[in-house]
Amino acid sequence: MSLFDIKDRCALVSGASSGLGRHFAHTLATHGARVAVAARREGQLLALEAEIGALGGRVLPARLDVTDRDSVAACVAAVERDFAPIDILVNNAGVAITKPISEQTEADWDTVIDTNLTGAWLLAREVIRRRLEDRRTCSIINVASILGLTATARVPAYCASKAALINLTRALTAEVARHGIRVNSLAPGYIETDLNREFLAGEAGQKLVRRIPARRFGVPEDLDGALLFLASDASRYVHGSVVTVDGGQTASL
């Protein structure tokens, strides 16, 4: 068996309807995992199911709003009932609200913290409860950001949520590593997705790219190695870490 083997493992990816989550689902499925793709937009999930299914992958669409504790519990229960116990949880759902601080509302703050931090905590808690009960191991991958290690203007809640997610990762590790439950953070730098492609190609983006030692933005495929590493037994003694994939951006601050 290869070190990075994830064949037949059951993965759940939150926020899988677009961007990196969609890509993570593809990567895990094409490497043989059964993947529950979870998000609010069911239409997108059905399209993703058909797309990955056509490549021979096994996918289960699951409705999930990470800001709703009942939805989180129902989603995990449905995936474990219809698929298998979750071996790999990718806490990917996330939002950013970009505005100057004087224009940020409490609702903006709550939306970002509820999604990026509390949502990841709710999903992790649900999966951990089940793994402690059935004494199976699992790997939880919290998709943080280099903005959890450093910061930038006009996204205060986002920076705070990702920093807290990185420390939540460590706190959970301190408690559950002894049970074979691994919790790690994946911290991408600027990765081109549909959402930011226009911005990254513009003037501000071109200024930004000059501060990245690799002199380019990432593409989703640049995260595949780190994802498969954290998901598989290749990282079996890696607990509570932050794996940064950013073209050297944080190394050169």
For the annotated catalytic residues, the residue numbers are: 158
Per the document, the length of the chain is: 253
Other Cβ atoms less than 10 A from the Cβ of 116: the count is 28
Smallest gap from residue 155 Cβ to ligand NAI (A): 10
HSE-CB for 225 with a 13 A CA cutoff: 7
**Distance of closest approach, residue 94 Cβ to ligand NAI, in angstroms:** 2
Alpha-carbon span 105 to 103, nearest angstrom: 6
DSSP percent split of the chain into helix, strand, coil, nearest 5: 50, 15, 35
Closest by CA to 15, choosing from 41, 34, 33, 35, is 41
Binding mask 103-132 for ligand NAI (x = CB under 6 A): ------------x-----------------
Site for ligand NAI in 16-45 (CB under 6 A): 17-21, 39-40
Options 132-140, 175-183, 185-193, 233-241: segment touching ligand NAI (CB under 6 A): 185-193
Residue 135 or 210: which CB sits closer to ligand NAI? 210
Which one of 14-22, 169-177, 201-209, 223-231 is the stretch in contact with ligand NAI (CB under 6 A)?
14-22
Strand arrangement, sheet containing 34-39: 58-63, 34-39, 10-14, 88-91, 138-143, 181-188, 242-245
Residues that bind ligand NAI (CB under 6 A): 14-15, 17-21, 39-40, 64-67, 92-95, 115, 143, 145, 188, 190-191, 193, 195-196
